[in-house]
Structures are given as C-alpha cells and as structure tokens.
Structure 1
Amino acid sequence: MNESSNGSIIGGKSFTAVAINCAAKAGEWIMTKLGGYSKLELKYSAHDLVTEVDKGSERLIRNLIGTHFPHHSFLGEEGVEPGPEASSRALAEMSDAEYLWIVDPIDGTTNFVHGFPFFCVSIALAYQGEVIVGVIYDPCKDELFVAEKGKGAYVHGKKMSVSGEETLRGSLIATGLPADHHYALPLNLKGIQSVAPEVRNLRIAGSAAIHLAYVAAGRLSGFWEIGLSSWDIAAGALLVQESGGLVTDTHGRPYNLAVRNIAATNGLVHAELLDKLAGAEAVG
C-alpha cells in the first residue's frame, strides 16, 4: 500500500490492517465465550449490560493497538463510566488527540448474553477529529466491513454501495431501544410511532454498529437512534459515507464524533426520514 495523503500509513504499518487484525482476533475470542460468560453486571440501567467478555475484548484490542502505535490515544466503551454525560465527557477529554482509536469491544452485549447472533466488534481511527478508518466485524456471520476515508467501503472484499429506495414507503429502516429510559427511549418510541406506518417495515436488532454496516451494504435503507455514543457510531458512519450514503444528526447537521442522535440513510430517503422525526418531536 502506498503512502497516502490521509495518513493511513505510519512507519510502514497500515492502520487499516491493524484495525482488521484487532477486530478479527477479538471476534474470534468473543465466539469462544458465547454462552460461557460467568459474570453479568448492570451498567447504566437494567437494560445496559456488560460482561467480562466485553472487558476482555477491549483489553485485547487496546494491547494490540498499543503494540503497533504506542503514542496513539484510545477511547473504549468499557474504559468510560456508564451514562450519556460520562460518554460525552470522555470524548471531550480526547479532543486534542492527533490519532484516536474509538472502540466498542462488543456492540450488542445484550444479544451476546442471550445468544442472539447479532453483535459485533467496532473499531474506528480518527485523525485530528475525523474518522479515517472504520472496521466492523460480525463474528457470528464472519462478515468484515471495512472503510478507509476516500477509498470506498467493502464487505467480503467487495465494494459496497447503499440501496436505491427513493421513498420511505419502499424502505426497510432500523432503529434501537436505548438503555436510557428517562430521555432517549421515550424520544425513540415517539420516532417509531411516527416512522413505522410510513415505511415498508422497521427492524430493531440491537446493534447500532451492524445497523450502520447494513445501511452501507444496501441491506437497510436507513437507520436512526437517539442517545448513542461515539464508539457505537464512528466506524459505521464512515462505512455509510464511503458507500455513498448520508450521515447527519437527527436535525440534519453534518456528522462529527460528538453526535449522539444519529440518522444514516442511502441519502435518497434522508429528508423524508428527518421530516417524520421532526414532526413527532423525536429528534432530541
């Protein structure tokens, strides 16, 4: 791989290759623990779970990245106190980092705990606040989604592009049921009530990262959710953008790492989706 202007190579080591290696190794390790974790903890609420597998996966990824890039900064979900305020604060504290790895060691922990095969490892690298590498690995299906800024996005080594639906009526849209039952969940439920009758169907499968990867792959027309964190979104947002889709906050402002209320679509149904959410006062 040649030296590229977006800094995807340093000292002969490819950021993307390291991200892929970390995601694959963590995914492989997670699968050995499926159905065999021993300790379950509640984080932010009774619906926000963490296991020692999340923590072990994050340690594995952090150590591998540290071996290759010891001077890079690292923001992982399990290294941050639970709750939306702590998430925002942790990201703000990293705002000066030149290179920042943003990692969700298992996105979809509740699914993992129940053996529901819809969870993934999400790894992004931001350079001066802009995501330049995004990798999402679904170990259950052995699917690897990879994007480099300006170079497209790929799954199974094939270039991805977003779907072609032009209206919500013909669209399959995904969302989530946030763990924050005071603020985010009621808003998202208002959005669901508004959007569900307008679309072909809705999906709520419990992993924001995979939902974003599926928008990039053209399997979903769009996705929105209130109250996510940077590690839920960063890798998937780049996948969608590099597949020709559109990623904004729920007000339609451009995506950045601090965005918590996300809308990602094929671009064609974006305005219509945002309009439905705004009409329901469900944008946050």
Structure 2
Amino acid sequence: MSHPPATPADPAAPLPVDPAMVAEIMAEVALTEVVSRFRRLAPEDIRAKRHASDLVTEADLAAERALEARLTALLPGSRVLGEEGAFADPGRLDWCADTGAGAPPLWIVDPVDGTGNFAHGRPGFAMIVALVLGGETRGGWILEPMSGRRAVAVAGQGAYDHTGHRLLVGDAERLTASLAWRTAQGPLGQRMHAARRQGSAGLDYLDLAGGRLQVALFGRMMPWDHAAGVLILEEAGGHAEVHHADDPPAAYRPVAYRGNSRLLLTNSAALAEDLRPDLPKP
C-alpha cells in the first residue's frame, strides 16, 4: 500500500513543545475526565459505534475535547485528529496525508485506548498522544491512568518512563507476545512461550518498550493506536514493520492503513526477520 512520501524532518530540530508539558496535560485530563468516571458510568454513558463491541463512553468524548483544547493552546496553529472526532468526521483522516513542509502540526490522540475494558470496569486502558510534523511522528506519549505508568519519546532522543529511566527493549529466551486468538493458535503463536491480548494497544506498547513483551501483531492499524507507540518502541531499540499483501515489509507511517495490512512489532529487526515465515497472510 503506497502513501504520499513524508517530508523528511530534521532529527536535530527541537520539538516545538516541551514534552513534559504534554505529559502534564495528559495526566490532568486523565484524572479529571477519565479516572473520575471509572466504574461510575451510567448505562446511558456507554454507546455502540460501528458494532456492539465498538464502544464509546462519556469519558472518551470529554477527554478528547479537553485534550484538543489544551494541546492546540500549547501549540497554536496545530490541529487534533482524535479517534472520536474521526468517527464523527471521517474526512479528518485525510490530515495524515498532509505531509508538505507547510502542513500544520498534527496531534493524534486516543483519549481512552481500551474503551471496552474501561466501560466494563476493567483497569486495562491507556491514553495516547502523538505529535506529527511533516508526516513523521516526532513525539509520542502513552499514559496508563490507573497506575501512572508512562512512556515518552522524542525522535532521536530515546524513550523514557515516568521515573526518568531510559526504556530499552531486552532480549528474552522465552518470547511473550500480544496476538489475536486465531493467530495465537497458528505457527506464530506456537513459537511463543505465552500469547495474550490486553485489549489496549497502548499497554502493549508500554510492555514492549519496557521489555515485558517481545512480539505483537496488529491487523487494525488506525493512527491513534500506533503513531506514538511505534516511535516509543523504536526509540527503545525495538522494531516495527508493515506487511501488506505480497509487498516487502515497509516502515510504519502515521496514516490510516486500508485493506489487508499487518503491523509486526518486535524487540529487534533480527527477530522480525526470523518470524516472517510464520506470519499469517494479511
């Protein structure tokens, strides 16, 4: 699958915002709009979107509104692509393809990644924010609101957790993976010591970057699920590659992938190469 080429960003150029300010905004919004509603939702606060298991809650909507207001105030002239805003106005997804030098800075946000868990009172959810400049992800933030666990990455400057410790993926003799159930039953899953799915891509990325997970495979590739996480993983020394049809593996880009694509995440390029023969066909 081809997309317009991104305008290469200067890796030495400073981020136009203070990463700590973004993390602070996320923590405040998560506390006031998400955590405050956890296990306190009324039935009318939970609605289905495309199908019965595709849920949105009042927490998703309120948090996205708050993030949009505060992030655009932090970076004037920027715009926000959020999961809920894109559902209401699918044309917003075209902003990802605006990669020219004059393109406005783009925030990509998922206010509650793992809404199914959140709506059912399970604590497996995250808040995700990415900053895209010229078609390239330059900043990535993932927060687990219930624990305060966090990862922050700036392109070319590494990835760090909430304590300031640098995140580095680690080698493991026994591989743990995040796989869909059908894939876990196939050749790829059989090579793993354990395979599970948390219901939150953000939490998978926190575990990948922190060395607790070595492999993940995703078929749904919306930018709010992966733009921040791929940057964090790669800055922690990991590897991401996109598989589409019979095309050679390609680097991930923060766009909405259409059709039969897969995103393979590993702790190294060598492991990805070793696993490719066992990947399910897109």
Matched, 1:233 2:233: no
Deviation at 1:130, TM superposition (A): 0.5
Cα distance in 2 for partners of 1:100, 1:106 equals 19
Cα gap change, 1:136 to 1:176, in 2 (>3 Å):
farther
Deviation at 1:95, TM superposition (A): 2.4
Cα distance in 1 for partners of 2:254, 2:184 equals 23
SS of equivalent residue, structure 1 residue 8: coil
Q: Which moved more, 1:91-100 or 1:17-26?
A: 91-100
> Which structure 2 residue ranges, 5 or more long, are not aligned?
1-10
Q: Which moved more, 1:201-210 or 1:256-265?
A: 256-265
In structure 2, the residue matched to 1:36 is 40
Q: TM-score, normalised on structure 2?
A: 0.84
In structure 2, the residue matched to 1:272 is 274
Cα distance in 2 for partners of 1:242, 1:71 equals 27
Deviation at 1:190, TM superposition (A): 4.4
Q: Deviations over 1:77-119 (max 9, x none)?
A: 010127xxx86x5332342233110000000001111121110
Q: Deviations over 1:114-170 (max 9, x none)?
A: 12111010000011011111000001111111111111001121001112136xxx2
AA aligned to 1:263 is L
AA aligned to 2:178 is A
Select 2:170's aligned residue among 163, 166, 170: 163
SS of equivalent residue, structure 2 residue 97: coil
Q: Provide the alpha-carbon RMSD of the alignment.
A: 2.0
Cα gap change, 1:42 to 1:234, in 2 (>3 Å):
same
Aligned pairs, number: 255
Cα distance in 1 for partners of 2:122, 2:185 equals 23
Q: Within 5 Å, which residues of 2 pair with 1:113-128?
A: 113-128=119-134
In structure 2, the residue matched to 1:27 is 30
Q: TM-score, normalised on structure 1?
A: 0.84
SS of equivalent residue, structure 2 residue 117: helix
AA aligned to 1:257 is P
Sequence identity (%):
29
Cα gap change, 1:269 to 1:259, in 2 (>3 Å):
farther
Cα distance in 1 for partners of 2:255, 2:184 equals 21
Select 1:248's aligned residue among 216, 241, 245: 241
Cα distance in 1 for partners of 2:20, 2:53 equals 34
After the TM superposition, which parts of structure 1 deviate over 3 Å for at least 4 consecutive aligned residues? none
Deviation at 1:192, TM superposition (A): 4.6
| Conserved? CA contact 2:208–2:215, under 8 Å | yes
Cα distance in 2 for partners of 1:61, 1:95 equals 22
SS of equivalent residue, structure 1 residue 62: helix
> Which structure 1 residue ranges, 5 or more long, are not aligned?
178-188
Q: Deviations over 1:5-56 (max 9, x none)?
A: 33313xxx42x12321221112212111101122111012111110011000
In structure 2, the residue matched to 1:184 is none
In structure 1, the residue matched to 2:199 is 206
Matched, 1:221 2:224: no
AA aligned to 1:21 is E
